[in-house]
C-alpha cells in the first residue's frame, strides 16, 4: 500500500503526515509513506488545495487535515 501526502510543508501538511503515520500503526499494515512538496507534482495529482492525501493513487482528501480514524477507514477500504 502506498500513502501519499501532498503539501509544501506547512503545519497542516505535517499534521496530515503524522495522522497518516498513526493510521498505518493503528491499522497494523505495512505501507510506503511518501511526501510530495513540489507545486507542479501536487497540481499534477489533481490537488487544488493542500494538504492532500492519496491512498494507492486515489485522492481521498484535499484542503483539510483528515482525522486518523478516517484514514484508517480508507486504508481498510483500499
Q: Among all residues, which ones are annotated catalytic?
A: 10, 13
Q: Look at residue 43 and give its three-state secondary structure.
A: helix
Other CB atoms within a 10 A radius of the CB of residue 11 amount to 10
d(CA 78, CA 5): 16
Give the three cell numbers for residue 16: 496530515
Amino acid at each position: 500500500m502506498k500513502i501519499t501526502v501532498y503539501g509544501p510543508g506547512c503545519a497542516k501538511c505535517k499534521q496530515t503526515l503524522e495522522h497518516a503515520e498513526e493510521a498505518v500503526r493503528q491499522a497494523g499494515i505495512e505501507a510506503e509513506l511518501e511526501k510530495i512538496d513540489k507545486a507542479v507534482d501536487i497540481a499534477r495529482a489533481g490537488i487544488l488545495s493542500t494538504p492532500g492525501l492519496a491512498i494507492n493513487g486515489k485522492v481521498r482528501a484535499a484542503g483539510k487535515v483528515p482525522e486518523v480514524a478516517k484514514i484508517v477507514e480508507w486504508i481498510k477500504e483500499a
